[in-house]
Amino acid sequence: MTRSNDRRRSYSAELIESGITPPLLSARNLCFEMQGQPLLQSVNLSVRAGRRTIVIGPNGAGKSLLLRLLHGLIPMTTGDIYWKGQRFSRDAQSAQAMVFQRPVLLRRSVLANLKFALKVCGFVGPERARRVQDALRISGLMDVANRPARVLSGGEQQRLAIARALVCAPELLLLDEPTANLDPAATSYIETLIDMASGRGITVVMVTHDQGQARRLADDLVFLQDGRVEGTGVASDLFANPRSEAMKAWLDGRLHVRREEM
């Protein structure tokens, strides 16, 4: 198929040879301040290729902000982000795709939204048509392909946003609480879609405050509270054995009060 797929295959081959899984994306001592307020402090984390990393934590922990920094939308105050061991660059950003909590859809048809993304990443002709059909099929939007995107239901809009994020075959898919405003049925559809994306070898980083969703989807877990990482590791281990009091409290459903307000 395309060159990027060849590259990914050889990258995977390297991983198998070396016997370790080096991070696809990592953050070192990431700090972000706004008007002197530290919103993220010394965040260290690694996103391993091919896995689903879920960032959880209470509201206001800085989860969405972290996602934007990892995607290069907002410059960090200090610290470093590495993509495949290299400093984060524009190329790294174009190998990622992001889906926002409230889907940002063009004021055009479903079809035109997909075509727009494909045009931006340089697909034309029959290959573009093939990818459009694939996206419509996986998102179940075939029947509404010619409807204006913004008259779709909330669930359909978010499915379109994810399908659009996937059309250019990103290596990493970033999702910022994609199901926060959706009912259980729509949520389930989105989760299936995420499952399918990761089944295609796409690495996923998703922010959620929904514990159940985290348990369903997470391979790896990052627990964020008050702008700090208060626990990170393989999800099953961490859920069974939370490393910090803060995380334990949150998992138990105890109310959290920000430290500086105490």
Partner 1 sequence: MDIGVLFLQSFGLISNWDSNLSEIVFLSLQVTVTAVVLACLLGLPIGAMVGTFRFFGRSGLILGMNVLMGLPPVIVGLVVYLLLSASGPMGVLGLLYTPFAMIIAQTVLVTPIIAALSRQVIEDLWMEYAEQFASLGVSRRARIFALLWDARFSLLTVVLAGFGRAVAEVGAVMIVGGNINHVTRVMTTAIALETSRGQLELALALGLVLLIVSLVVNIVVMAFRGTIVRGAYA
Q: In what order do the strands lie in the sheet with 37-48?
A: 37-48, 23-34, 78-83, 86-87
Question: Which amino acid type is present at position 133?
Answer: Q
Whole-number minimum distance, CB 240 to partner 1, in Å? 35
Measured from the CB atom, the residue of 147 and 215 that comes closer to partner 1 is 147
Measured from the CB atom, the residue of 108 and 216 that comes closer to partner 1 is 108
DSSP H/E element including 166 = helix 154-166
Q: Footprint of partner 1 on this chain (CB under 8 A)?
A: 68, 71, 73, 90, 93-94, 96-98, 100, 104, 106-109, 112, 116-117, 119-121, 146-148
In sequence order, the 6+-apart residues with CB closer than 8 A to the CB of 227 are: 32, 38, 39, 40, 41, 43, 61, 62
Whole-number minimum distance, CB 98 to partner 1, in Å? 4
Whole-number minimum distance, CB 13 to partner 1, in Å? 28
Beta bridge partners of 233: 221
Whole-number minimum distance, CB 229 to partner 1, in Å? 24
Measured from the CB atom, the residue of 11 and 116 that comes closer to partner 1 is 116
Measured from the CB atom, the residue of 87 and 107 that comes closer to partner 1 is 107
Whole-number minimum distance, CB 205 to partner 1, in Å? 13
Question: Which amino acid type is present at position 223?
Answer: F
Taking a C-beta distance cutoff of 8 angstroms, is the pair 32, 76 a contact? yes
Measured from the CB atom, the residue of 13 and 120 that comes closer to partner 1 is 120
In sequence order, the 6+-apart residues with CB closer than 8 A to the CB of 50 are: 12, 21, 198, 201, 203
